[in-house]
């Protein structure tokens, strides 16, 4: 599953509706909560990924996964293990968990953005289709690169295993070579002798 950035697909809505927070007691204090969603129209994951970016540091300091189906086991919010975090990501998570709990209008807004993405992705004539296709291509290229890298690592491991087996093989071969020519030369010699005789 890959996720797409809401504010890049719908820049106008994104600009107006991307929430920013002032978090007291944390470095930088001003944070923007960028949203990513799964655009697969056949997937009903009911989930948003909140990418928390510090304005002063200009970097992502926490990545929080949040499910709209509150009865689901893995509804969250929780820190996503596959994405970027920072030493104070846990603190940010605690504040945002409270925020999601208290601000129903904000959760409704997230659900509306999710519905907007799914509807656009399901509509072949929607203007965002080109961008979605481009991201999908990029995702596939990345996946292919990962697969190639894995194959290269595997081939390297095999190669080094073979290389480390060479000295032992050479010793064996040397012993065999040391014996064989003697037999041959003796045989050859005796044949020659026979011919000579």
Comparison of 46 and 131: residue with beta carbon closer to Zn ion: 46
Comparison of 93 and 121: residue with beta carbon closer to Zn ion: 121
Comparison of 9 and 23: residue with beta carbon closer to Zn ion: 9
Joined together, the tokens standing for residue 2 give: 């890959």
Comparison of 43 and 119: residue with beta carbon closer to Zn ion: 43
Comparison of 61 and 77: residue with beta carbon closer to Zn ion: 77
Shortest distance, position 40 Cβ to Zn ion, whole Å:
5
Please tell me the distance from the alpha carbon of residue 197 to that of residue 195, in angstroms, as a whole number.
5
Shortest distance, position 121 Cβ to Zn ion, whole Å:
10
Q: Burial, 113: exposed, middle or buried (Cβ in 10 Å; 0-12, 13-18, 19+)?
A: buried
Shortest distance, position 2 Cβ to Zn ion, whole Å:
9
Query: How many chain residues touch Zn ion (CB under 5 A)?
Result: 3
* Length of the chain measured in residues: 197
Site string for Zn ion, 30-49 (x = CB under 5 A): --------x----x-x----
Q: Is residue 115 near Zn ion by the rule CB under 5 A?
A: no
In the chain the beta strands, taken as DSSP E runs, fall at 4-5, 19-22, 30-37, 47-54, 59-67, 78-79
Subset of 45-84 contacting Zn ion (CB under 5 A) = 45
Packing angle between helix 104-122 and helix 89-102, nearest 10 degrees? 90
Please tell me the distance from the alpha carbon of residue 95 to that of residue 82, in angstroms, as a whole number.
21
Binding site for Zn ion (CB under 5 A): 38, 43, 45
């Amino acid at each position: 599953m890959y996720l797409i950035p809401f504010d890049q697909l719908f820049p106008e809505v994104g600009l107006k509706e991307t929430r920013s927070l002032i978090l007291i007691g944390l470095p930088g204090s001003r944070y923007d909560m960028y949203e990513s969603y799964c655009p697969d129209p056949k997937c009903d994951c009911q989930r948003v990924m909140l990418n928390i970016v510090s304005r002063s540091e200009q970097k992502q300091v926490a990545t929080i996964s949040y499910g709209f189906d509150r009865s689901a086991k893995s509804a969250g919010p929780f820190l996503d293990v596959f994405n970027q975090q920072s030493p104070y990501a846990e603190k940010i998570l605690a504040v945002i968990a409270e925020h999601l709990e208290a601000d129903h209008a904000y959760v409704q807004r997230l659900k509306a953005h999710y519905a907007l993405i799914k509807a656009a992705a399901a509509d072949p004539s929607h203007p965002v289709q080109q961008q979605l296709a481009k991201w999908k291509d990029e995702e596939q290229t990345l996946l292919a690169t990962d697969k190639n890298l894995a194959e290269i690592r595997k081939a390297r491991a095999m190669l080094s295993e073979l290389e480390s087996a060479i000295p032992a093989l050479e010793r064996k071969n040397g012993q065999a070579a040391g014996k064989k020519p003697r037999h041959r030369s003796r045989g050859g010699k005796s044949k020659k002798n026979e011919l000579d005789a």
